[in-house]
Structure 1
Amino acid sequence: MNEAFDVLIIGGGPGGYVAAIRAAQLGLRTALVEKQHLGGICLNWGCIPTKAMLRGAEVAHTLQQAGTFGFSVGQVEFDIGTLVAHSREVSQTLTGGIAYLLKKNGITVFDGRARLTAKGCVSVTSAEGERALQAKHIILATGARPRPLPAIVPDGERIWSYFEALVPQQVPASLLVVGSGAIGVEFASLYHDLGCAVTLVEVAGQILPAEDREVASLVQREFERRGIRVLTQASVSAVRSDAEQAQCSVRLADGREEQIGVERVLLAAGIQANSEDLGLEALGVEIERGFIKTDPWCRTNVAGLYAIGDVAGAPCLAHKASHEGVLCVEKLAGVEGVHPLDKAFIPGCTYARPQVASLGLTEAAAKASGRRLNIGRFDYQANGKALAMGEAGGFVKTIFDADSGELLGAHMVGPEVTEQIQGLGIAQALEATEQSLSQVVFAHPTLSEAMHEAVLAASGKALHQ
Structure 2
Amino acid sequence: MKQIVVIGGGPAGVEAAVAAAQGNTQVTLISEGPLGGRTGWDSLLPSKVWLHAAEVAGVAAHAAAEGVQLGAVQVEPAAVLGRIKAVAQRWSEREAQRLQAAGVNVINGVAAFSGPHELVVRNGENQQVLAADAVIIATGSVPRFPPTMKPDGQRIIAPRFASTLSTLPPDMIVIGGGPTGSEFASLFSRLGVKVTWIVGAPGVLPMFDPAAGQALAAAMAAQGVTIHQVDVERAERTEAGVAVTTTDGVTHTAAMAFLAIGRVPDLSRLNLAAAGLQVGENGQLAIDNYGRTEAGHIFAVGDAAGGPMLANRALAQAWIAGRTAAELPAPGYCPHTVVSAVYTVPEIAQVGIVSGGEGELQRVRASYTASLKAYLGDETEGWVELVFDAANRQIRGGIAVGAHAADLLAPVALAIQSGATIADLAAIFAAYPTLSEAVFAAARAVQ
Q: Work out whether the TM-score is over 0.5.
A: yes
Q: CA RMSD in A?
A: 1.7
Q: Name whichever of 373-382 and 426-435 sits farther off.
A: 373-382
Deviation per CA, 1:149-206: give whole Å up to 9, x if none: 2320111111111011332110111111111211111111111111111111112333
Give 2:15's aligned residue: 18
| Residue 6 of structure 2 corresponds to residue 9 of structure 1 | yes
1:5 positional shift: 6.3
Amino acid at match of 2:241: Q
Picking from 232, 243, 247, the partner of 1:247 is 243
1:66–1:274 distance in 2 versus 1, CA, 3 Å: same
1:284 positional shift: 3.4
TM-score normalized by the length of structure 1:
0.92
| Residue 289 of structure 2 corresponds to residue 296 of structure 1 | yes
Give 2:276's aligned residue: 284
1:381 positional shift: 4.0
| Residue 80 of structure 2 corresponds to residue 92 of structure 1 | no
1:380 positional shift: 2.0
| Residue 432 of structure 2 corresponds to residue 435 of structure 1 | no
Q: Name whichever of 96-105 and 106-115 sits farther off.
A: 96-105
Amino acid at match of 2:269: D
Q: Secondary structure at the match of 1:49?
A: helix
Separation in 2, partners of 1:244, 1:327: 51
Separation in 1, partners of 2:322, 2:358: 37
Separation in 2, partners of 1:72, 1:238: 47
Separation in 2, partners of 1:51, 1:240: 27
Deviation per CA, 1:94-139: give whole Å up to 9, x if none: 0011122222322211111100011100001112411111010011
Give 1:378's aligned residue: 366
| Residue 296 of structure 2 corresponds to residue 308 of structure 1 | no
| Residue 322 of structure 2 corresponds to residue 329 of structure 1 | yes
Give 1:275's aligned residue: 267
| Residue 381 of structure 2 corresponds to residue 393 of structure 1 | yes
Amino acid at match of 2:256: R
| Residue 346 of structure 2 corresponds to residue 346 of structure 1 | no
2:119–2:129 CA contact under 8 A, matched in 1:
yes
Picking from 413, 422, 425, the partner of 1:425 is 413
Q: Secondary structure at the match of 2:293?
A: coil
1:345–1:359 CA contact under 8 A, matched in 2:
yes
Give 1:446's aligned residue: 434
Q: Secondary structure at the match of 1:91?
A: helix
Q: Which runs of 5+ in 2 are unaligned?
A: none
| Residue 112 of structure 2 corresponds to residue 124 of structure 1 | no
2:232–2:244 CA contact under 8 A, matched in 1:
yes
Separation in 2, partners of 1:432, 1:153: 47
Deviation per CA, 1:70-113: give whole Å up to 9, x if none: 34444344421001211221111000111222223222111111
| Residue 230 of structure 2 corresponds to residue 237 of structure 1 | no
TM-score normalized by the length of structure 2:
0.95
2:117–2:275 CA contact under 8 A, matched in 1:
no
1:224–1:441 distance in 2 versus 1, CA, 3 Å: same
1:210 positional shift: 1.0
1:371 positional shift: 4.8
> How many residues were matched structurally?
446
Separation in 1, partners of 2:359, 2:147: 42
Separation in 2, partners of 1:81, 1:240: 27
Give 1:154's aligned residue: 151
Give 2:63's aligned residue: 66
Q: Secondary structure at the match of 1:411?
A: strand
2:366–2:383 CA contact under 8 A, matched in 1:
yes
Give 1:202's aligned residue: 199
1:392–1:415 CA contact under 8 A, matched in 2:
no
Q: Name whichever of 5-14 and 279-288 sits farther off.
A: 279-288
Separation in 2, partners of 1:334, 1:248: 52
Separation in 1, partners of 2:422, 2:260: 38
Deviation per CA, 1:37-90: give whole Å up to 9, x if none: 211222222332222211111122223323322344443444210012112211
1:209 positional shift: 1.2
1:315–1:343 CA contact under 8 A, matched in 2:
no
- Identical columns (%): 28
